[in-house]
Structure 1
Amino acid sequence: MPTKEAAATRRLSEDLRLACMRISRRVRFESDHEVAPHQFSVLSRIEDGPLTPRALADIEKVSAPSMTRTVGCLVEDGLAERAAHPDDGRQVLVTITAQGREVLRATRARRDAWMVARVAELSAQERATLADAAKILAEIAAR
């Protein structure tokens, strides 16, 4: 039979997972839907430099055909470009366009505004608790 501490840890873990999932979903969908969440994720991956569709698929944990469709939509919408790989002519690199960078900036601003409005409603003590929790959650995510 599990100990009380193990049961409490399991309940806390479930509560945290659900809260993080719900916050993530709300932040994604509270902002204007200029791009779908999976497209936004790909744009943020290529923001710092070009990647191959295969690398993007691996990072995003999706199939290569699924990533090909996502990249195709981003290119079609003018948010990304395909270019020949300089070292391997069989591959392409996906890069973000100026329009894609603007979509990232605007979407992040809307998401941040939504979160700021919610956090501003909290007491100073609640905000301090969240600041501590944010550090701990970042450590958990990095493991």
Structure 2
Amino acid sequence: MKISRRARFESADAIAPHQFSVMAHVEKGLDRPGALAREERISAPSLTRTVNGLVERGLVESNADPDDGRARVITLTNAGKQALTDVRRSRDAWIISRIEDLTDQECQTLREAQDILSRVARA
């Protein structure tokens, strides 16, 4: 968690961490505000503010659901897709700069820790 948090805040991204998270969920197929709010564990009004900010920046679109005009469907724009790619590249560069000088043994230890943490997360 510390490394993840540090990578989010150390990289000079134009997208705030909470905005990136919402956009990543949209990319994975969550496109309804209610589902996004539940996934993010935030209130509907907070999610609406986040989405509105992303709409204003041209990173997502919020359109009426064709099957239910009262509901909204959130989609990434091309600019939003590019922004996600840029943030991921920036974060990758940040972590690579931190681990490139590790010894072979330290890299092996990280691989083993990754396997253990993945098992713990699945349990």
TM > 0.5 between the two?
yes
Residue in structure 2 matching 1:74, options 54, 58, 67: 54
Alignment of 1:62 with 2:42, yes or no, is yes
Q: What is the distance in 1 between the residues matched to 2:122 and 2:23?
A: 21
Equivalent residue letter for 1:66: S
Task: Count the aligned residue pairs.
Answer: 123
Q: TM-score, normalised by structure 1?
A: 0.81
Instruction: Please tell me whether the aligned partners of residues 54 and 64 of structure 1 are also in contact (alpha carbons under 8 angstroms).
Output: yes
Give the aligned partner of residue 16 of structure 2.
36
Greater than 6 Å deviation, 4+ residue runs: none
Q: TM-score, normalised by structure 2?
A: 0.93
Equivalent residue letter for 1:68: T
Shift of 1:87: 2.1
Q: What is the distance in 2 between the residues matched to 1:97 and 1:59?
A: 21
- Kindly name which structure, 1 or 2, has the bigger radius of gyration based on alpha carbons: 1
Deviation per CA, 1:71-123, whole angstroms, max 9, x where unpaired?
A: 00000000000111122221001001110111110110010011111111111
Shift of 1:27: 0.4
Equivalent residue letter for 1:34: A
Give the aligned partner of residue 101 of structure 2.
121
- What's the secondary structure of 1:90's corresponding residue? strand
Instruction: Please tell me whether the aligned partners of residues 46 and 94 of structure 1 are also in contact (alpha carbons under 8 angstroms).
Output: yes
Residue in structure 1 matching 2:78, options 98, 106, 119: 98
Shift of 1:53: 0.8
Gaps of 5+ in 2: none
Instruction: Please tell me whether the aligned partners of residues 30 and 36 of structure 2 are also in contact (alpha carbons under 8 angstroms).
Output: no
Percentage identity across aligned positions?
50
Equivalent residue letter for 1:38: H
Q: What is the distance in 1 between the residues matched to 2:38 and 2:48?
A: 12
Deviates more, 1:47-56 or 1:120-129: 47-56
Give the aligned partner of residue 119 of structure 2.
139
